[in-house]
Amino acid sequence: MQVVETISEVRRIRRVGPGSWGLVPTMGFLHAGHLALVARARQENNHVGVSIFVNPTQFGPQEDLAAYPRDLARDLAQLEAAGADLVWVPAVEEVYPPHFQTYVSVEEAARPLEGAARPGHFRGVATVVAKLFNVFQPDRAYFGQKDAQQAVVIQRMAADLAFPLDVVVCPTVREPDGLALSSRNVYLTPEQRAAAPVLYRALCAARDAWQAGERAGGRLRRIMADVLAAEPLARVDYVSAADPLTLAELEAEAEPPRGVLLSMAVRIGRARLIDNILIADADP
Ligand code: AMP
CATH number for position 195: 3.30.1300.10
DSSP assigned state of 43: H
Residue 238, domain member (yes or no): yes
- 21/162 same-domain check: yes
Q: Give the position, in ligand 1's atom list, of the atom nearest the Cα of 147.
A: 12
The pLDDT confidence band at residue 256, using thresholds 50, 70 and 90, is confident
Residue 210 shares a structural domain with residue 254: yes
Q: Are residues 194 and 120 in the same domain?
A: no
Confidence of residue 106 (pLDDT cuts 50, 70, 90): very high
Residues 139, 49: one domain? yes
Could you give the percent of the chain with pLDDT greater than 90?
Answer: 95
39: phi then psi, degrees, rounded to nearest 5: -65, -40
| Residue 30 placed within a domain | yes
Q: How confident is the model at residue 88 (pLDDT cuts 50, 70, 90)?
A: very high
Answer yes or no: do 187 and 270 share one domain.
yes
Distance 213 CA to ligand 1 centre (A): 31
89 and 111 in a common domain: yes
Cα separation of 38 and 101, whole Å? 31
Residue 177, in any domain of the structure: no
Helix (H) / strand (E) containing 169:
strand 166-170
Residue whose CA is closest, atom 5 of ligand 1?
Answer: 26
175: in domain:
no
> Looking at the structure, do residues 156 and 205 belong to the same domain, yes or no?
no
Angle at 283 between CA 221 and CA 276, to 5 degrees: 40
Report CA Rg, the chain. Answer: 19
Cα–Cα distance, 95 to 105 (Å, whole number): 17
Averaged pLDDT of the chain: 96
Q: Which domain holds residue 192?
A: 183-276
pLDDT score at 124: 98
163 and 23 within one domain: yes
Task: Read off the pLDDT of each residue in 123-133 and give the average, rounded to a whole number.
Answer: 99
Q: Which pLDDT belongs to residue 177?
A: 98
The answer to whether 149 and 111 have CB atoms below 8 angstroms apart is no
- Answer whether residue 254 shows pLDDT above 70: no
Please report the pLDDT score of residue 16 as a whole number.
Answer: 82
- Asked if residue 213 belongs to a domain, the reply is yes
> What is the share, in percent, of the chain residues with pLDDT greater than 70?
98
Phi, psi at residue 112, to the nearest 5°?
-80, -175
Give yes or no for residue 250 having a pLDDT over 60.
yes
Query: Do residues 148 and 196 both lie within one domain?
Result: no
Residue that finishes a domain, picked among 141, 170, 199: 170
Query: 216 C-alpha vs ligand 1 centroid, how far in Å?
Result: 30
Same domain assignment for residues 158 and 188: no
Residue 282 pLDDT > 70, yes or no?
no
The 10 Å Cβ neighbour count of residue 238 is 17
Which domain-ending residue is among 145, 170, 195? 170
- Distance from the alpha carbon of residue 33 to the mean position of ligand 1, in angstroms: 6
Band (283; pLDDT cuts 50, 70, 90): low
| Average pLDDT of span 151-171 | 98
- Whether residue 49 lies inside any domain: the answer is yes
Answer whether 38's CB lies under 8 Å from 24's CB: yes
Q: What is the CATH number of the domain that holds 73?
A: 3.40.50.620
Give the pLDDT confidence score for residue 229 in this predicted structure: 98
34 catalytic? Reply is yes
Q: How many Å apart are CA 203 and CA 162, to the nearest integer?
A: 34
Mean pLDDT of 201-223: 97
Residue among 229, 235, 239, 230 nearest 260 (CA): 239
Task: Report the alpha-carbon angle 276-25-155, nearest 5.
Answer: 60
Mean pLDDT of 4-13: 98
The dihedral region occupied by 83, where left means phi > 0, alpha psi between -120 and 50, and beta the remainder, is left
Q: pLDDT value at position 224?
A: 99
Total domains present in the chain: 2
pLDDT band at 252, cuts 50/70/90? confident
Question: Do 146 and 190 share a domain, yes or no?
Answer: no
Domain closes at, from 149, 170, 191? 170
Residues 259 and 207 in one domain: yes
Residue 51: its pLDDT value, please? Answer: 99
pLDDT, average across residues 250-277:
92
Q: Half-sphere exposure of residue 117, counting CA atoms within 13 Å on the CB side? A: 16
Exactly one of 31, 34, 47, 121 is catalytic; which is it? 34
pLDDT value, residue 284: 54
pLDDT number for residue 8:
98
Claim: this prediction has a pTM higher than 0.95: yes
Nearest CA to ligand 1 atom 22: 144
Q: Given this model, what pLDDT does residue 158 score?
A: 98
